[in-house]
Structure 1
Amino acid sequence: MLMASVVLILVKAETKWLGTKKTFEWFSTAGRTVKTGLIVTSVVSAWTWAATLLQSSTVAYQYGVSGPFWYAAGASIQVVLFAILAIELKRKSPMSHTFPEMINARFGKSSHKVFLSFAFLTNIIVTAMLVLGGAAVVNALTGIDVYIAAFLIPIGVIAYTLFGGLKATFLAEYFNTAFIFVVVLIFVSAIYFTNEDIGGISGMFEKLSEAAVMSPVEGNAAGSFLTLASVGALIFGIINIVGNFGTVFVDQSYWQRAIASRPRSVVPGFLVGGLAWFAIPFALATTLGLAAVAVNLQLTPLEISSGLVAPLAAAHILGDVGAILMLTVLFTAVTAAGSAQLISVSSLITYDVFRTYIKPSSTGRQLMRISRYSILGFGLGMGALASVLFMSGISLQYVYLAMGVLIGSAVAPISLAILWKDTNRYVATAAAIIGLGCGVTVWLGYAFSTSGEISLASTSDMFALLAGNLTSILTSLAITVIGSLFRPENFNFSKLKHEIFVVDETIRKRLEKETNEESLRKASGFSKRYGLTLTLILVVVWPIPLFFSNYVFTSTVYHVWIWVAILWAVAAASMIWILPIIQSRDGISHVLKNIAKSSKPRKTDKYGHDLSDNEIAQKILVAVDGSVSSMRALNYVNYVMKESSNIKVYLTHIIEWSDDDESMDEEMTIKMEQDGRKMLLGISLPSKLKNYERIVKLGDPAKKISELASSLNVDTIVMGRRGLSDTDSDLGHVTSKLLSLSSKPIVLV
């Protein structure tokens, strides 16, 4: 709840002092202005699941140094490669809000429904893993009932996501990611440099060498924990790669980050984000997972499958401090990634369900309301879903290894929809469905053929999962490519720019200004060169020679390996901590100046008039609606200025509109405000009036005038006794209401 409070304060500061207009477009896309630093932290945070902290240490415990490597490499390349899709989305469909929205414009409604279903399935799977892992650890370290823990976890996430939208998620993710790296470096330092039981890097090497003699790892070279020549780790790595393509390319969370970013920030954001994330499982698991082996921590199969290696190792080696740190960092990761999932589901429901199929003419207010209902409903549903899975005996590890079978078939059709103009809509849609069917059939068929039954135990077999994962993604890819070659569609991507639009005029104009085809084309080429190069390095050039050579680390090589992990984590942490602050320094400076200004004691003259703003003797708010009496009010201010020239006047026009009227959208709001400014610009101001400000607002006039008078700290409100619509009464309805609302002196003319 503390994090929720901090984030909501930051969002409030942005809207109050940086002039951010909180429309639904801003709520769901963060205004599409997010810079590289926040994109990096957001990508790292969204990709740091409970499994990142738990499953990576589990495979370290099972396979040695190869486990953390294959977890990190097998799950970072998807984020790196997603940079290619992200920049292509900016080029070809810059106004999109979700990837199914792009699919709808490209393939039509039938295909849209299919891929929207895959998107929801991905969110459900990811959310299930978040809550399963988080609740299991809370239960193991605190004793809180696992079902209660499953419902407690979403509460803080719902709070700041519900009111702050995507920008609140980005801000929370910065703090969460910064804290995660702090904890990772604490564990690394404590275990490798201060813990006497481990004995430093050399002591860890000796203990792992001894562990291989006592309990050799089946399928590892020489049974060693100190080798990348591990059959089990390689199989896990392939499953990891296939499954995580689905949970990135089919997860709206990552498309939403691409949409929210500035065009020039999207490629470096995902490339650097993928490499920075690599450091978390690589450094943490080679610390906690291997430490569990080194101290001969005995765990049950249930504890291993539930992902409890890391928390139990932390508690065993570092005592209560280790348990508290592990519990805190896990809760941080779960809430941050959970927030990303809430916003993702919210966007899918509002744009792809409500606006597409229920009410295409829906206003911004209606979409905002549906979005918040979605966040609240799915957030509470997170706990119910985890409870059902717990009762079914389904563990974090099981879901993690099976996810590629269920969503991998959608990867190729979605990717090629934005990359290849010849992708055939009917073939791509059929490929996703057929790939899913084939993947599940092979998975269950293999499990039945080897054990004679289909159960949790038989379907947990690594070879069955490997066969199902590969079948799902490769079958879909083959069908999509071959079918599209036979029946190419030759789609004109410029149609996406015309069929998908942004209502918010301010954001739309900025997008049009920033979307430069030449720069985006160069960024696209850059993303392909470096994305593919980094992928080859991480999953081929680095590990494959070490696998086929059956090389077992010497003490020197192990020292180098650990120092690479440590330095990588330090570099990533430095980037995460510093870059967002540097890129936001102007906004931070502006907010701090305003806070300092508002906290200064008021300087007044002998009459009590405020002198804090450039020695202003008096601040006057003049309410103008175009009526004769409001013009007389302005003339009255001219008369007052004869006594003093040090007066600031706020010329205010309130356009009356009910906050409950849902027919108003962003475009209409902007149009009405423009008309209001034109009216104010048409008023002839007194020649002596040099210090003035024009303000236009929509809403209840009396309420808005009262709020403005308080926030601007004016000395006097001047207005006519009656407005345009008040002809019979002595006092107009706005005047009467304002007299009861405001404590400021009011002059009626």
Structure 2
Amino acid sequence: MPSILSENIGYIILIGVGLIMALSVTLMVKAETKWLGTRKTSEWFYTAGRTIKTGLIASSIVSAWTWAATLLQSSTVTYEFGLGGSFWYAAGASIQVILFSILALELKRKAPMTHTFPEMIYVRFGKHSHKVFLFFALMTNTIVTAMLVLGGAAVINSLTGIDITLAAFLIPVGIILYTIFGGLKATFFAEYLNAALIFVVVLIFVTVIYFATPEIGGISGMYEKLTQASILKPVEGNAFGTYLTLASMGALIFGIINIVGNFGTVFVDQSYWQRAIASRPKAATGGFILGGLAWFAIPFTLATTLGLAAIATGVTLTENEIELGLVASTAASNLMGDFGAILLLTIIFTAVTAAGSSQLVSVSSLVTYDVFRTYLKPSSSGRELIKISRFTILGFGIGMGLLASLLFHSGFSLQYVYLMMGILIGSAVAPISFSILWKKTNKYAATSAAIIGLGCGISSWLLSADSMYGEITLSSTGNLLPLLIGNIVSITTGLGITLVGSMIKPENFDFHIMKQKILVVDDKVRSMLKHDTDEEFLQRSLKFCKRAGFSISVFLVIVWPASFYLTEFVFEEQSFHLWIWLAIIWAFSAAGIIIFLPLIEARKNISEVFHKANMDSDMMEQSDYSHFSGNDSPVMKILVPIDGSARSLKSLYHANYLFRGAAKVRIYLLHVIEWTDENEENIDEELASQIQEEGRLILRSVVVPKQINDYKRIVKLGDPAEKITELADKLKIDMIIMSKKGIGKSTSNLGNVTQKVLKLTSKPVVLLE
């Protein structure tokens, strides 16, 4: 299949859009840390300070759950089965997120200070069970990551001709950059931008294709063309062979596989637990339910547009091209030319990067907390945890490309991996869920259920493929019926063994133990959690989640489809119009919530950032460093570094001697506590406070001459010479007065710090013996 776009456009999107996304997210994180006073501790890096509100949680859910498979496979199953495909993709993968709100609330009630779900398993079941579920967690992240990159690379290759292996390695570049810098908060920002962009593009597609494309002829034209296609190429297993029905056996089988498999990729995926951990208690309920309902609109509307358009325009693809998910891209380029192809390629790329960032943070948190801190160095500091995390992000980010390339060259398609993932991870769904939901869950039953369920799922999948098709190959195991059997056996075996084993030998676990054994080091976060955790409110929210979650789920996957399936309902033109308008209205409503709700909730912070960013630098200096309320600004600003030595104190008295009698002189006394880490913000909040208090004690012990009326004491952490230079530039210092040597040892005439200051600064420096 010849490529639609040039390689140059592919590289622009791969590298250019990736770098723009990385730069945008990095600037957003920098703005928060600089102007909102956020300190980048290890707690902040992994949990975003546990302060995320409803809108950002919802947009994060939409983005994280919108994989390349969402944008591609939804159109593929619609192309194969008609309206039933788009419906079952959306309904079959939205209920898991909605139901996960129950686990999110239980986590807030029972283990509010946890960092990962295996951390909870370790406290409740011990280290052997912890290792088993850590394996499932890492396997889930690996499978999801492989699908993300594989789908994105396949589309980039098909549309631009860029080598698929090269694309697989270029995709993670931007992800690694901003994730290493900003951690989970960077992921939230990237996901918001991605979710907003996806909804804008989806709305462009539906508007242009249904209302501005002559080849389609509007909603009525689409209906006529689908009716003709049903006659020319009837769908086996669909009511009357038509594409215009939800009564489709193939779509139903896909829907069941979709439901089973996606329980695993939500409930066993650390990234969703990470969102529950990062959310404020009051945001956990609305964030997950709103996110699930908003996400429904993306595959439902996009597939009802591009998938049906591919059928209506007679798009013909090989079986391999269909499995690689090229239906959507082909339809977009056929109807909207290069513009349509570029739009789809852009949102697929941003979806891969945003969801990929989420997976990177999840893997790094699992490796850092559940491997390094649990088994290798339990007493590790926050700086060490962040360092391990960044190494993990870099290593796993590079491994993303390698894994996707291996899968592609081994013959595994996006569709194959998507449909078989539930077999591999489904058995862990019930044991993990019951570990936080049910105090009677038996640890041996739960652990063995996950292992036995995995074995039974794989065995039933392979055996059914062999018995039905006479061989075990990629082709035979990729058929729907063996995949259906394997998925159902895996998840039901895990559920059955957990329930039966726990009822035979129930435990009586006290969930207060989790609060006692899982602690947050950061004082600020710990006090915020205690203040926000209202047990009565959480109980009410939990009841609402259970009622709303189960009601919505039953309606989406039982009541709604059953009314169409059992009656073998075939859409007439009028009802088809209503169906398409339902998709359009749902998409516009979801877009409004996802784009505007986070902005409304963050309006105070946004206003504060813009206000501080636009303030005059002198005003910034006055508000941050001056203790005077007068309006007269000094005409001379002097910086005197104090390290506690007699020589540095002599510098202070010399400054007083030089400028005695001067009316407008301000002297800044700076004490820098040497810190080996390059970034002072990486220090845990509690440790930083203790160190800075020691520095303030040193400065308070310095007797300032009475003649000096305008002065300010400042304490910094980091490299002394760099901090002296940095502060001199920031405060627009006119002169630095310091001793040739301080308390450090130096064989030369000048101390090491003094030599470095002279190299770094362009300010006048007065040196004293």
TM-score by length of 2: 0.91
Matched, 1:697 2:685: no
Alpha-carbon distance, 1:13 to partner: 2.0
State the AA in 2 paired with 1:717: I
* In 2, Cα distance between equivalents of 1:591 and 1:641: 38
Name which of 434, 456, 463 aligns with 1:438.
456
Q: Quick check: 1:472 aligned with 2:490?
A: yes
**Deviation, structure 1 residue 709:** 1.6
> Partner letter of residue 450 of structure 1?
M
Change (3 A) 1:83 1:661: closer
The equivalent position to 2:63 in structure 1, one of 36, 45, 50, is 45
Partner of 2:11: none
1:245 aligns to 2:245 (yes or no) = no
Aligned to 1:357: 375
Tell me, yes or no, if the aligned pair for 2:679 and 2:718 is still in contact at 8 Å: no
Q: Which residue number in structure 1 is paired with residue 345 of structure 2?
A: 327
The aligned length equals 743
**Secondary structure at the counterpart of residue 654 of structure 1:** strand
Does structure 2 conserve the Cα–Cα contact (< 8 Å) formed by 1:721 and 1:735?
yes
- Counterpart residue number, 2:578: 560
Q: Residue 318 of structure 2 aligns with which residue?
A: 300
Contact 1:505 1:670 survives alignment (8 Å):
no
Within a 5 Å distance, the mapping from 1:85-484 to structure 2 comes to: 85-484=103-502
Which one-letter code corresponds to 1:302 in the other structure? N
Q: CA deviation at 1:369?
A: 2.1
Distance 1:620 1:328, change over 3 A: same
**Preserved contact between residue 623 and residue 705 of structure 1 (Cα < 8 Å):** yes
The answer as to whether partners of 2:524 and 2:685 remain within 8 angstroms in 1 is no
After the TM superposition, which of the residue ranges 500-509 and 684-693 deviates more from structure 2?
Answer: 684-693
Residues 661 and 296 of structure 1: is their aligned pair in 2 closer, same or farther, counting only changes over 3 Å? closer
Residues 745 and 512 (structure 1), Cα distance of their counterparts in 2 relative to 1, 3 Å cut:
farther
> What SS class does the counterpart of residue 265 from structure 1 fall into?
helix
1:675 aligns with 2:694: yes
Whole-angstrom CA distance in 2 between matches of 1:78 and 1:603: 51
Q: 1:603 to 1:106 in 2, by over 3 A?
A: closer
Check whether the contact 1:655–1:676 (CA below 8 A) recurs between aligned residues. Answer: yes
Residues 442-591 of structure 1: pairs in structure 2 closer than 5 A: 442-591=460-609
CA distance in 1 between counterparts of 2:386 and 2:631 reads 38
- Deviation sequence 1:185-211 (CA, Å, 0-9, x none): 111011000001101011111111111
In the TM superposition, residue 529 of structure 1 has moved relative to its aligned partner by 2.1
1:109-156 deviations in whole A, cap 9, x for unaligned? Answer: 100110011011111111111122111111111111222222221122
Q: Please state whether the residue corresponding to 2:519 is helix, strand or coil.
A: coil
Offset at residue 310 of structure 1 (A): 0.4
What residue number does 2:91 align with? 73
Question: CA 1:640 to 1:511, structure 2 compared with 1: closer, same or farther past 3 Å?
Answer: farther
- Asked if 2 retains the 8 angstrom alpha-carbon contact of 1:364 and 1:666, the reply is no
Change (3 A) 1:271 1:727: same
> Residue 158 of structure 2 aligns to which amino acid in structure 1?
A
Give distance in 2, aligned partners of 1:423 and 1:74: 28
Would you say the 8 A contact 1:602–1:612 is kept in 2? Answer: no
**Pair 602,85 (structure 1): closer, same or farther in 2 beyond 3 Å:** closer
AA partner of residue 524 (structure 1): L
2:122 maps to 1:82 = no
2:725 corresponds in structure 1 to 706
| Amino acid paired to 1:742 | T
Q: CA deviation at 1:668?
A: 3.2
What is the CA deviation profile of residues 501-544 of structure 1, one whole-angstrom value per residue up to 9, with x for unaligned ones?
A: 22233322322332232332232222222222221221122221
Unaligned runs of 5+ in 2: 1-18, 623-628
Change (3 A) 1:742 1:294: same
Secondary structure of the 1:568 match is helix
1:694 & 1:586 partners in 2: Cα distance?
A: 31
1:744 is aligned, of 763, 766, 769, to 763
- Residue 335 of structure 1 deviates from its aligned partner by 1.1
Aligned partner of 1:608 in structure 2 is none
More displaced stretch, 112-121 vs 624-633: 624-633
Pick closer, same or farther for the CA change 1:647–1:254 going to 2, 3 Å: farther
Check the 8 A contact 2:41/2:683 in 1, yes or no.
Answer: no
Seen in structure 2, the aligned counterparts of structure 1 residues 735 and 603 have a Cα distance that, compared at 3 Å, is closer
Structure 1 residue runs without a partner (length 5+) = 605-610
Asked if the contact 2:79–2:327 (Cα under 8 Å) also holds between the matched residues in 1, the reply is yes
One-letter amino acid of the counterpart of residue 231, structure 1: M
Larger displacement relative to structure 2 (653-662 or 159-168): 653-662
Aligned counterpart, 2:23: 5
Shift of 1:715: 2.8
- 3-state SS of the aligned residue for 1:542? helix
Which range is displaced more, 403-412 or 128-137? Answer: 128-137
Structure 1 pair 516–684 and aligned structure 2 pair: CA distance change class (3 A): farther
Q: Is the 8 A contact 1:13 1:591 kept in 2?
A: yes
Which residue identity does 1:669 align to in structure 2? A
User: What letter corresponds to residue 503 of structure 2 in structure 1?
Assistant: L
- Tell me, in whole angstroms, the C-alpha distance in 2 between the residues paired with 1:652 and 1:394: 61
SS in 2 for 1:264: helix
Secondary structure, in 3 states, of the residue corresponding to 1:225? coil
Amino acid at match of 2:259: I
Do the aligned partners of residues 205 and 97 (structure 1) sit closer, same or farther apart at CA in structure 2, a change above 3 Å counting? same
Output the CA distance in 2 between the equivalents of 1:22 and 1:645: 41
Deviations 1:659-686 (A, max 9, x none): 3899976543332123223444566667
CA–CA distance in 2 between the matches of 1:234 and 1:496?
41
CA distance in 2, matches of 1:445, 1:357: 39
Q: Is the 8 A contact 2:642 2:649 kept in 1?
A: yes
After the TM superposition, which of the residue ranges 116-125 and 379-388 deviates more from structure 2?
379-388
Q: Identity, % of aligned pairs?
A: 61
SS of 2:281's partner is coil
Shift of 1:593: 2.4
Contact 2:42 2:684 in 1 (8 A): no
Code of the residue aligned with 2:377 in structure 1: it is: K
Looking at structure 2, the residues matched to 737 and 455 of structure 1 have their Cα atoms a distance apart, in angstroms, of 66
Deviation at 1:22, TM superposition (A): 1.6
Report which stretch shifted further, 152-161 or 645-654. Answer: 645-654
| Offset from partner CA, 1:67-115 (integer Å, 9 cap, x none) | 1111111101111111111121122111211111111111111001100
What displacement does 1:268 show? 1.3
Q: What's the CA shift string for 1:22-41, capped at 9, x where partnerless?
A: 22222222222222222111
Does the C-alpha gap of structure 1 residues 601 and 512 become closer, same or farther in structure 2, counting only changes over 3 Å?
A: closer
Equivalent in the alignment of 2:43: 25
TM-score (norm 1): 0.93
Q: Which moved more, 1:10-19 or 1:732-741?
A: 732-741
Q: Rate the CA distance shift 1:308–1:661 in 2: closer, same or farther, 3 A.
A: closer
Quick check: 2:678–2:718 contact (8 Å CA) kept in 1? no
Taking only aligned residues, the RMSD between alpha carbons, in angstroms, comes to 2.8
Task: Say if 2:746 and 2:752, in contact at 8 Å, map to a contact too.
Answer: no
Hey, what's the Cα distance between the residues in 1 that align with 2:225 and 2:631? 69
Residue range with higher mean Cα deviation, 70-79 or 1-10? 1-10
Aligned mates of 2:256, 2:59 — CA distance in 1: 26
Indicate yes or no: 2:763 matched with 1:717.
no
Q: Return the letter of the residue paired with 2:446.
A: A
Whole-angstrom CA distance in 1 between matches of 2:722 and 2:452? 59
